[in-house]
Amino acid sequence: MLDFFTIFSKGGLVLWCFQGVSDSCTGPVNALIRSVLLQERGGNNSFTHEALTLKYKLDNQFELVFVVGFQKILTLTYVDKLIDDVHRLFRDKYRTEIQQQSALSLLNGTFDFQNDFLRLLREAEESSKIRAPTTMKKFEDFEKAKKPVRSMIETREKPKEKAKNSKKKGAKKAGSDGPSVTNKAPPAEKSGLPAGPENGELSKEELIRRKREEFIQKHGRGMDKSSKSMKSDAPKEKGKKAPRVWELGGGANKEVLDYSTPTTNGTPEAALSEDINLIRGTGLGGQLQDLDCSSSEDEGVVPNSTKPSATKGTLGGMFGMLKGLVGSKSLSREDMESVLDKMRDHLIAKNVAADIAVQLCESVANKLEGKVMGTFSTVTSTVKQALQESLVQILQPQRRVDMLRDIMDAQRHQRPYVVTFCGVNGVGKSTNLAKISFWLLENGFSVLIAACDTFRAGAVEQLRTHTRRLSALHPPEKHGGRTMVQLFEKGYGKDAAGIAMEAIAFARNQGFDVVLVDTAGRMQDNAPLMTALAKLITVNTPDLVLFVGEALVGNEAVDQLVKFNRALADHSMAQTPRLIDGIVLTKFDTIDDKVGAAISMTYITSKPIVFVGTGQTYCDLRSLNAKAVVAALMKA
């Protein structure tokens, strides 16, 4: 049973609607428009909204959308056939009204389609019932039943026959080796082993055992001495080795671990300020610059690519250009198939996940199928332009994260703004947390860093080093004696959720503007650690949850984000679980123009890329420029 079937234009005018139930179809259809049609995610023709499944079809020639909705627990096999039949009949019946392409004509037009739709629905339902039910196969229908029993018995006895043959061969070899064994009887007597006529019938295993005993008797004493010496030296070496004690971890031996710069008259050398300036980097720390994906090498390559084309004849070039023209006809799947295959391979080569590349090309095909092209438009240029528009739309998702505005709003409510960083191991969570801290300090906000990575050795010391350097860049003297950055840590082996809760309470009491919570790196398949992360987010309810991911990954990006979101939803104790709110893309300076990870991460989560890390200094933080990323992605 269908809940509704509606036909509307891409401009938003509803031409005809069928209501199977009393509930309105406005909410599900609006969700489909917001989440799929406007976000260029039309690769799949189905969409799930709450308890409904929506299937849709686009008519690009007349700018129409056909949508059918039904309960997702139902399996209706005739829905696809029904949409095709309704699309064909409605387009042919009201072609003249639709071709006028004016909103006034569509509003004044009368689309009496109720009887036709009910007839098509009845035919589709009957056609699904006419199909004969699938019957289970009998044993006689399988190939196994046709084999005789003798053949199955023979296959089971084959290993036994092989074993018998091997024993016969072994016996023959043992018989042939008999004289050689009897000749070596005297050395056997020396070694204390029994010798006699029975030795001529020894098997290979017994011969090997005898030779091994002889070898042990000859060389065993020296080996025993060496093994005893190794055992006696081992505890001495263990006793000599002492664990290293870090300087900032408490209880350090200053004479051994003093790696500081030499001092003169009790004052440190001036190298400290140069080191801090080097760490800071060059640039405006308070303003995020747009990401620039262009490179100087590509500018030199472009002129070279035009030289081979100049050698071709002008006649061949003209025919080649005219061959690719469409010429005022509607595009079909066959016209776009070869171009889309090349585009898909190109996207995969640029580090876009394979499944995402397939869905993008399918979305472009659905968007362009049936669309009438201009006289001098080629299929390649049309598909490329449509793909560029889709990619730009994907990189500009529904929600835009403005941290500075949200922090000022939290200040008005006299509470700290809490940001939690999560991700897999080794992606640069702590380093980019320090960059974001510097950016916030440059904008005049005080920051409390919560060291909730109580698992990795050196995690607290790393954050302490960043805090010391940030304090040197923004000392209290420059801010009226106010401490701008501070580290909150409780050591290792503690509960991360409890440390985060104490840090937020401490920030509220001390008047800090922002709390940045650093968490331990964890793989997406580690259930205990994912449960701990879900607990931390559920208990402390941060304002922003940022997933830190590498720009180097391809298909792994999809797996990481999907499983992180799924784990947060499964292990959360709240009724509405908190998922990832944004993405921090790191190591972007190492990938040249292979920027496909940005597309994969944004497509799979519909969340924005808030920050992009491009280097090792505190100023190497950028905001995503969608057009620059797409230009680098489409570059040959």
Tell me what pLDDT residue 48 has. Answer: 87
| pLDDT > 70 fraction of the chain, expressed in percent and rounded | 70
- Mean pLDDT on 507-527: 91
Give how far Cα 184 sits from Cα of 3, 177, 205, 209, Å.
Answer: 94, 11, 17, 15
- Mean pLDDT on 7-34: 85
**How confident is the prediction for the chain on average, in pLDDT?**
76
Other C-beta atoms within 10 Å of 268: how many? Answer: 12
Beta bridge partners of 583: 547, 609
Calpha distance 545→536 (Å, rounded): 11
Tell me what pLDDT residue 626 has. Answer: 86
Which strands make up the sheet holding 582-586, listed edge to edge?
289-290, 621-623, 609-613, 582-586, 544-550, 417-423, 514-519, 447-452, 485-488
The region of weakest confidence among 112-121, 272-281, 283-292 is 272-281
Tell me what pLDDT residue 445 has. Answer: 94
Tell me what pLDDT residue 514 has. Answer: 96
pLDDT class of 383 with cuts at 50, 70, 90 = confident
Q: What pLDDT, in 10s, does the model give residues 525-574?
A: 888 888 889 889 989 999 999 999 988 887 787 888 888 888 888 887 77
10 exposed, middle or buried (CB, 10 Å; 0-12, 13-18, 19+)? middle
Tell me what pLDDT residue 1 has. Answer: 75
Task: Say yes or no to pLDDT of 420 above 90.
Answer: yes
Q: What pLDDT, in 10s, does the model give residues 213-226?
A: 888 877 765 555 44
Q: What pLDDT, in 10s, does the model give residues 452-478?
A: 998 888 999 999 999 999 999 999 888
Task: Say yes or no to pLDDT of 575 above 70.
Answer: yes
Which of left, alpha, beta for 358 (phi over 0: left; psi -120 to 50: alpha)?
alpha
Tell me what pLDDT residue 283 has. Answer: 63
- What the chain holds in terms of domains, given with CATH numbers, is 4-130 (3.30.450.60), 330-395 (no CATH), 403-627 (3.40.50.300)
Task: Say yes or no to pLDDT of 108 above 70.
Answer: no
Is residue 193 within 8 A of residue 213, CB to CB? The reply is yes
Radius of gyration of the chain (CA): 37
Tell me what pLDDT residue 558 has. Answer: 80
Q: What pLDDT, in 10s, does the model give residues 319-362?
A: 444 445 445 567 888 888 899 999 999 999 988 888 889 988 98
| pLDDT > 90 fraction of the chain, expressed in percent and rounded | 22
pLDDT class of 306 with cuts at 50, 70, 90 = very low
Structure tokens at 492: 């290792």
Secondary element (H or E) of residue 631: helix 626-634
Q: What pLDDT, in 10s, does the model give residues 136-188?
A: 777 777 776 666 665 555 544 444 555 555 555 555 444 444 444 444 444 44
Structure tokens at 342: 């090349």
Task: Say yes or no to pLDDT of 293 above 70.
Answer: no
Is residue 523 within 8 A of residue 424, CB to CB? The reply is yes
| Greater pLDDT, 513 or 380 | 513
Task: Say yes or no to pLDDT of 229 above 60.
Answer: no
Tell me what pLDDT residue 312 has. Answer: 41
The region of weakest confidence among 243-247, 373-377, 378-382, 498-502 is 243-247
Task: Say yes or no to pLDDT of 524 above 90.
Answer: no
Q: What pLDDT, in 10s, does the model give residues 43-98?
A: 678 888 888 899 988 887 788 899 999 988 888 888 888 999 999 898 888 887 77
Tell me what pLDDT residue 51 has. Answer: 86
User: For 474-609, where are the alpha helices, taking DSSP H only?
Assistant: 496-510, 527-540, 555-571, 596-605
pLDDT class of 511 with cuts at 50, 70, 90 = very high
pTM above 0.85, yes or no: no
Tell me what pLDDT residue 166 has. Answer: 54
Single-letter residue type at 245: V
pLDDT class of 451 with cuts at 50, 70, 90 = very high
Calpha distance 168→173 (Å, rounded): 9
Task: Say yes or no to pLDDT of 447 above 90.
Answer: yes
Give how far Cα 434 sits from Cα of 424, 558, 624, Å.
Answer: 18, 26, 19
pLDDT class of 318 with cuts at 50, 70, 90 = very low
Tell me what pLDDT residue 128 has. Answer: 77
